[in-house]
Amino acid sequence: MRQVVLDTETTGLEIEQGHRILELGGVEILDRKLTRRHYHQYVNPEREVEEGALEVHGITNHFLQNKPVFADVLKEFLDFVRGSELIIHNAAFDVNFLNHEMSLADESLGTLQDYCSVVDSLQIARKKHPGQRNSLDALCRRYNVDSSKRELHGALLDAEILADVYLLLTGGQVDLLLDQSDGADEAASEIMRLDPNRARLPVVMPSEEELAAHEARIVALDAVCESGAVWRRATSG
């Protein structure tokens, strides 16, 4: 399966107020492996960047003045995402902006959903972690994804970070980069069997102090989770 993790930056939050896209960033995943292939483009939004948006991404009007307009990069963008499954965090926001830009460029092109399907990683996170914070920053902390370079938002940087988060969020085998070595697939397919005569692992029971620390942790989870801590339900069932 081919997936593209996508993010955009805009001049402001409301399409109705004339706000536009000013940056596009996407990274490719093939069969749950990052390929290092990406798409990145700054766009002249043909309007001023709102002060609040500038504080988020730091992309200035002066920087954008010589960049191509959206209509000039649209074909290349659609070629990159065509036929893929788009992974977007809070997808409705980005998709609405992209469809608006497409309609301004050429109404005959239809909508983004005519070229690819869309999956909202925020909705996946909310189902997996109900009652918890599921912003990209919160998910980075939860899954130990390095976001130290994310002092300001940027479409490509956020797409790269979201790609790592998405692979961890959706579980299963995770390979962050394609293995370029010959014979890697064959080696991975070999079955490794444990020695049946190996020494048995010792069973270590928790101390009173460890049990108390565990209980304190569950109480803390009960306080922040809408449905309570899973461990509490598992031990009481």
Residue with structure tokens 């788009």?
86
Q: Are 11 and 140 in contact (CB under 8 A)?
A: no
Q: Which residues pair with 69 in a beta bridge?
A: 44
Q: Which residues contact 181 (CB under 8 A, 6 or more apart)?
A: none
Cα separation, 45 vs 31, whole angstroms: 34
Active site residue 40: no
Which one of the listed residues 38, 100, 129, 153 is annotated catalytic? Answer: 153
User: Alpha-carbon torsion 135, 78, 86, 179, what sign?
Assistant: negative
CA R_g for the chain = 23
CA dihedral 99, 100, 106, 108 (to 10 degrees): 50
Active site amino acids: 153
